[in-house]
Amino acid sequence: MGELKIPADRKTVVGVGSALMDMLAKEPDEFLDRLGVEKGGMNLVDQNYIDQLIAQTSFSPSIVSGGSACNTAFGVAKLGGSGRFVGKMGNDELGELFKQDLKNNSVDPVLFNSKTPTGRVLSVITPDAQRSMFTYLGASAEMQPSEISLDCFNGAAIVHVEGYLLFNRDLMMAVLKSARDNGSLISLDLASFNVVEASMDILDDIIMEYVDILIANEDEAKAYCGQTNEAKALKALSENVDVAALKLGPRGSLVAHQDQVLAIDPMGSGEVADTTGAGDLWASGFLFGMVNGYSFAKSGQLASACGYEVCQVIGAKIPDDGWARIRKFL
């Protein structure tokens, strides 16, 4: 396969998205049945709803910094790369925890402040290791187009945008235009089938005009192009971008570039504890490889290793021993 042309002398990956504290709870299927929600989706809720939901969990949920694009930037930094995150937090204890967690892990935080509480997402993990998310966006939803400037993307080789930003279209357009004006490549993760379904009226135009790297899982690809056939789905995803990646969970992934397709094998065969962050960390490995001049095969292998390791633990944070195993692929 050919190479992706990375802007000269740039290696920073900038994630843009929701600054959310991740709260993780293991629950039986009946927990979701009582709520009447579809398993595996992302549900936007208000502060009152999420407070009540947290009160119903069997144990106090664990809390770590999160949000899709933040997880990706976090992973890039853990690999020894340059990661930055752009988002908005509340002037509260959770916001300070969020910011400090990024700094402690070598992620450059570009965080705007709001009087609204810091956003949080409760990930309910069922026995089949699927995660269903309930998201209170809080302050993260208040990031304004006027706050986005070229300074946010200074030195960025790739600006990685989470699909959840499509819920705030003016903001999404401000990010895409600033990233393009900065000369950065743009990576878009479609995030969730719910997001895709709600954004079909503008998705094609955005992808065609701005996106260089498009990342999706099977559910998102089906929602976007109506295809369950992997080859046809990948062809549809890759039609208007330089690179398209179709994540197939335990079956690995497919990457398309210049009419060529690369099949990337899954890493390891251990039991899955939780899929939270699997796609986000897959993107960490892949984008780190891209900005460091790795081949598509090596970048994909690194992506698989990151995705595998995060599935061995509850939550989106890979422990130190997992990172040590991943770094053997560098």
Please compute the mean of the pLDDT values over residues 52-66 and round it to a whole number. 90
Mean pLDDT of the chain: 95
Q: What is the pLDDT of residues 238-248, one digit of tens each?
A: 999 999 999 99
Spatial strand order of the sheet with 260-264 comes to 107-114, 82-90, 12-16, 156-162, 185-189, 213-217, 243-247, 253-257, 260-264
Type of residue at 132: S
Give 21's strand partners: 65, 120
- What is the reported pLDDT for 220? 97
- What is the reported pLDDT for 302? 98
Domain residue spans of the chain: 12-17+68-116+142-329
Q: What is the pLDDT of residues 264-322, one digit of tens each?
A: 999 877 788 888 899 999 999 999 999 999 999 999 999 999 999 999 998 899 999 99
Q: For the chain, list the strands marked E by DSSP.
A: 12-16, 20-26, 42-44, 62-66, 82-90, 107-114, 119-125, 131-136, 156-162, 185-189, 213-217, 243-247, 253-257, 260-264
Q: In the predicted model, is pLDDT for residue 64 greater than 90?
A: no
The CATH number of domain 12-17+68-116+142-329 is 3.30.460.10: no
Q: What is the pLDDT of residues 123-159, one digit of tens each?
A: 999 999 898 999 999 999 999 999 999 999 999 999 9
